[in-house]
Chains A and B, each alone.
Chain A
Amino acid sequence: MIQAIFQYQFLQNAFLTGLIIGVIAPLLGAFIVVRRLSLIADALSHVTLSGIAASLFLSKSFAAFNGLNPLWLGMGFSVTGSLFIERLRSVYKHYQELAIPIILSGGIGVGVIFISLADGFNTDLFSYLFGSVSAVSRSDLWLILGIAVTVISIVILLYKELFLLSFDEEFGKASGLSTRILHLVFMVMVALVIAASMRIVGILLVSSLMTLPVAAAMRIARGFKQTIFFSILFGELAVIVGLFSAFYLDLAPGGTIVISSILLLLFAIGLKNWQSVRN
């Protein structure tokens, strides 16, 4: 594959995109996991599906939308979805998790309608659902790179605020942090990263790349910065191993990346147990 990467642009695209999302998905994932928002990421990925399906339908039915990259609508839908979730969470103050099934099923519902309108499944849609090594275009790569630069800059600039929001929201509020705005910025970032990651891991498995590496990192890390570091390390490992095996075994990378993450997770759990037995 190393040789092939230099040879074929599509492989370069997939590999570079993979490396990028291997950083940003676990980076935000660390905050998502400690804030217990994992399921929200899942719900948002399904909203992204409806955006993708809508875009595929539009470009099939109207010539004007022919060249439209489905990522744009996917992104638009998932950002809108993230704002909706916040709205719903404030409507159902005592049942905040209700927002998740509402948004999740809404997302799939809209998606299914557009899929049927666009005459059902095709390879394009399949690649969005489970990821693909061959479908990532140069323009996808640039868009995803743009998202990554934005998200990483925001996380660096607002690191201490995001840390406080995650660790102790009440204390943050008491010290004058505008937690509402911060949370909104965070949710929009999550929506963007989901849209970016889906090209490689697929909509159905996006949230796994945000949570599994973090779950592994939490077993062995000391402190939050270390947790982020190990999450990204595990995320990158999973992406690289997953992409190589997907290429050689001719499988959808979503599956191989998730299985690699699970193996890494088992390794981290095993390592921790072995350490505690030895001590």
Chain B
Amino acid sequence: MTSSNVIELKNVHYRYDRDYVLTNINLTVPKGAFLGIVGPNGSGKSTMLKIILGLLKPRQGTVILFGEPQAKFRDRERIGYVSQKANAFNTGFPATVYEVVASGLTKKAGLFKMIGRKRKPQIEKAIKAVGMEDFMNRNIGELSGGQQQRVFIARAIVSEPDVLILDEPTVGVDSKNVQTFYDMLERLNKQLSITLLLVTHDIGTITSKVTHVACLNNSIHFHGSTKDFEQVKDNELSQFYGHEVHRLHHDHGHHHHTEEGTSL
């Protein structure tokens, strides 16, 4: 147990029904890291996030958050979470960007308390951090997928968490905005020193941004720094994915191949 690790999973196993989706997961997220977890669909990525967030209990193994075992961990607001937008949200919901971001303070404000004017600067700061200040009073449904995702990130960081967990944040973001989206994440990581944990099936773009990589396919196949990851041979990766994968090292995300072999 070291306090410099924000999240630690030790020997975690999980199954929904009969078959294990996660076996023997050991994962550490050091403070200040930008960890990209890559893996094909059905590799157990979302399940692992749910375990970290405490939405699911591991069948075996332990989860340690900020040096404390999960069962004892009470500082939930230190962990921000951005879910896969597509299935979690009703786009017709009549709420403004400001209202959505303010709702990120629900837990922090405390029961029976209102989120009043006093919190306004804090909310506006989060909206500015994701570059959405011109859309503050627009209804969330009127925005593009990428803009909505920025709003959800603002909602997650408004309570000033130490770590931000993102589940496939670029689903629904059109390809030409993916790069600027990752640039924004990199800024959050470096300037606001938020530890980032990002889950994606898109292996190409993120390797130019993240500091650490973990490959997950029901168990961890690689876990280390981005530099080490670049030494891993393409054919080893392909084996891990089950089909061909090409990475363009140090590229800017325009011509790489994703797991399906299609280019973005």
Contacts and interface: CB of A to CB of B under 8 A. Distances in A.
Interface of A: 34, 36, 157-161, 163-164, 166-168, 170-177, 218, 221-227
B254 interface: no
B103 A163 contact: yes
Contact of B94 (A34, A159, A168, A174): A34
B92 to A, nearest CB: 8
B142 to A, nearest CB: 10
B1 interface: no
Interface in B81-104: 81, 83, 88-90, 92-96, 98-100, 102-104
Contact of A175 (B76, B95, B98, B114): B76
Contacts, number: 81
A167 B77 contact: no
Contacts of A171: 81, 83, 88, 103, 155
B106 interface: yes
B103 A164 contact: yes
B125 interface: no
A149 B111 CA distance: 19
A177 B95 contact: no
B106 to A, nearest CB: 5
B112 interface: yes
A34 B90 contact: yes
A177 B106 contact: yes
Contact of A160 (B76, B83, B96, B103): B103
Contacts of B114: 159-160
Contacts of A225: 99
Contacts of B184: none
A167 B139 contact: no
B55 A174 contact: yes
Interface string B30-72: 0000000000000000000000010100000000000000000
Nearest to A227: B94
Nearest to A226: B94
Contacts of B111: 158, 161
A65 B90 CA distance: 47
Contact of B106 (A160, A170, A223): A160
Contacts of A164: 103, 106
16 contacts: A34-B93, A160-B106, A163-B95, A164-B106, A167-B100, A168-B88, A170-B88, A171-B88, A174-B83, A175-B104, A176-B77, A176-B107, A222-B94, A222-B96, A223-B137, A224-B96
B95 A167 contact: yes
B106 A172 contact: yes
A217 to B, nearest CB: 8
Contacts of A157: 112
Nearest to B112: A157
Interface of B: 53, 55, 76-77, 81, 83, 88-90, 92-96, 98-100, 102-107, 109, 111-112, 114-115, 137-139, 155
Nearest to B85: A168
Nearest to A33: B94
A164 B99 CA distance: 10
Contacts of B102: 160
A276 to B, nearest CB: 12
Given A34-B93, A163-B103, A167-B93, A175 B137 contact: no
A171 B104 CA distance: 9
A208 to B, nearest CB: 19
Nearest to B110: A160
Given A34-B90, A175-B81, A224 B107 contact: no
B14 to A, nearest CB: 17
Nearest to A161: B106
A157 B106 CA distance: 12
B95 A170 contact: no
A230 B138 CA distance: 17
A223 B95 contact: yes
A158 B115 CA distance: 11
A237 B48 CA distance: 51
Contacts of A222: 94, 96, 137-139
Residue from A34, A166, A167, A221 with most neighbouring chain B CB atoms (10 Å): A167
Given A224-B95, A224-B96, 6 more contacts: A34-B93, A171-B81, A174-B81, A175-B77, A175-B106, A223-B137
A85 to B, nearest CB: 20
